Structure 1
Amino acid sequence: MRVPLLPRLKAHGVATILERLKSEAPSPKDNIDRLTEYSAWKTSAPSGGTRADSAAVNIAAELRKIAQKAGFPNSKTQAARAKFDQDAAIYLAQLKDLQTGEALRDDVWAFMTTVLAPDIVVWRFTDKNRERTARFSGGVRNSFQRLWVRGTFLDRGEGHAQRWELLTQLTEDAMVQIFERASIGGNPPLAIAIAEGWLSTVAKVGRGPMEGVMRSAIKILRVKNQIIDLGYLTPGELENVILNTFETATRAFVKTVKSEHET
């Protein structure tokens, strides 16, 4: 089986196209037209598979359908955007065309967002300047790449009765705390263990205090991870470390809140 080589877009191409988008809003043009319009900036691996521009076009088309079901382009509520994130992450995680090394390349995702679906990106995010650029450039903040990573890491497995529960239950802040920390987001066993720890903790204390608890827990875990690579612990050992850390963070958060109310 030959690997489908998806189209890529380098940093210069991203910058050039985004400069153009400053003066004209991205429109839902036919993706074939977009491939032609930006062909001068499109690259792909020179060997090792078969060029698969059509696969990228199909992925973008399906993402647009998912966005439309969530409310794109008219509904700009947080709920609509969260719905898109969840459904798109599940779709991308199961896609065979992305179960190769191609999905690990930032420039593949840069092409997807900047050339094939910039209108979805602008709908999903209202970031300006540097933050907006990050949503198009490849990396942990890329609009679609971040969802593929979440879906891939937080998949409990095809036979699990609650396969996608972590994706649907974790808040955006919790996702950011896990996946925008290189030492954590780049370590699948650690990432999913923290997500499971978050879910267990929210069942005990509710969602109200979880943003503060999660941030405190992540700080503690990052320090521990510098002392010992938590990803190399056995599943049982890692679960105990995570749950103990969340308990410590919860107690610290409650103590802080109580102290603030007393002053």
Structure 2
Amino acid sequence: MKPAKKLTTLFYMDDSGTRHPDHDAPGSRNRDWFALGGIMINEEDKESAETLIMDFRARWPELDGRPFHSHEIRRRQEGFAWLAVAGSRAELFISELSALLLSLPVVGVACVIDRQGYNDRYKAQYGKDRWLLCKTAFAVAIERAVKQAIVNDRRLKIYVERTSKKTDTLIKSYYQEIKKNGLWFDSEQSSKYKPVLAEQFNMLLYDFKTKTKESLLMQIADLYLWPMCIGGYQPTNKAYMALKEAGKLIDCCLAEEELAERGIKYSCFENVAKRTA
């Protein structure tokens, strides 16, 4: 008798920030990051989650078919400019959207890299040969997701938001390299994180696809990623705290001693002055 096929978990990944290490921050130096991450959801829960999202959208004709976009919602601009003039209805929308996010059967996973910290650590040594930040962020986020898949005895499908043909090809090449050969990090330096073995990646990474923002769950990945990013700089941020208190982050599934090797990764944050208000 053949062994039972493993159940599948889906990892929807969006990005936040600019992947080039020499990008100049448009705002505060203390909030300049690049991140890759989003949500993990068991494949058997996908349909019910999408139904919840569609039901929400049906109650809000103001959306007019526009996908959720974290930046536009927070800024109340572009497709969500109506929030700036909608008064109490805008507040109701934000409240109900928050409730939706907390009701979905998903968990947030990400790797967030502080750009200044990355450059402080690597620029003098590697100069122009520094990796694009997406190379590190993708590898770490994928590994954290695979570790969770191992614990749950599942395989993993990776869905990344579609951007440009060049970037999509680059990210797919990272996936293929990891699936074939494992991670490219220095084995001595990374040993403290108990890295996943190459054969485990090969066995558990089942599929890779890019998806547009038309994907309902990719939109949710977008809405989860920003709070995970800002949480590294301001742990008291309202959106981050809401996800954390509802148990919607991978960190909430782990013991304290497991966070460093399996939780949301905040890379090169050693000198970040965290805000408390």
Higher strand share: 2
TM-score of the two chains, using structure 1 as the length reference: 0.25
TM-score of the two chains, using structure 2 as the length reference: 0.24
For the pair shown, the structure with the greater C-alpha radius of gyration is 1
Higher helix share: 1
